[in-house]
Structure 1
């Protein structure tokens, strides 16, 4: 995994997603045979951290009598709380405490945690789908770029541009960014 940040990071790496083929002759090779490696690259934006703020208009509160042992107090007071988040339909029931106020606090904490977990799962699923779309199958036909160490040359297969390997390693990708 590689992380780049800065004002031009997205612009610099916008052409990188896809398969890259690297051809080289290892220093231990005696007969100058070329070894080829394939690397798949996905470029994704890092999501910013957001704080969960639940607006009161999104919440529906109900109180009810708790269930289970407790005798007369349990049967006469509505200390259990049912909290529903209207936009998602997620419902939380809290009756662990004897106090309705404590059950309200507990229900709100549980709802916030479940909403954050759900959002993280959805974000992970979207990122995984985006990564799979960018990477492709990793087969030779999906290649974006070929790096040939022996010739000292880099070829971008989408644009047809060729570049010296030394320039590519130095980060001088001029023609490849057009």
Structure 2
């Protein structure tokens, strides 16, 4: 299995669409090795970051510890013998970003810094979201990355989004990527909360 997976998605309003996926996704299923038919629960935490540009957030190089290590995985024998992989630690916050999928140390360092900037930007963004959510009692954007947001129940073929109490019996299609109905409902609730907040301001 995988301990951590990182990937980039590009497209129009991609962060505005996928930001609702941030949080803890819980899976309930009966494993093939389970002889008693008991349901097992496992969880994965999803983090969604907007890619921060250098002008969005400034990182002081003095605050960053840089470690180099040997890459692992595909890429030939040289990958395992050269210190091309890079790990960055932002000392004030303890946030870590690392990259080993590029062939050169320079490119790995460059990409790791992009990831680090995005994570620091997201930290500030989540703080603001938490403050805003507290003010308006938001169900959708709490800013809490450890909050349980959705359950996928295989025995019942059910998907439940706990933020808006939405339950769909369409597990197969949703697990194949058809999450538009969930996103539409979340965006509707989020926009309604923002409009309500605007109305209360004036």
Which category of TM-score, normalised to the shorter sequence, fits these structures?
0.3 to 0.5
- Name the larger-Rg structure: 1
Give TM-score scaled by structure 2 length. Answer: 0.39
Larger RCO (CA under 8 A, 6+ residues apart): 1
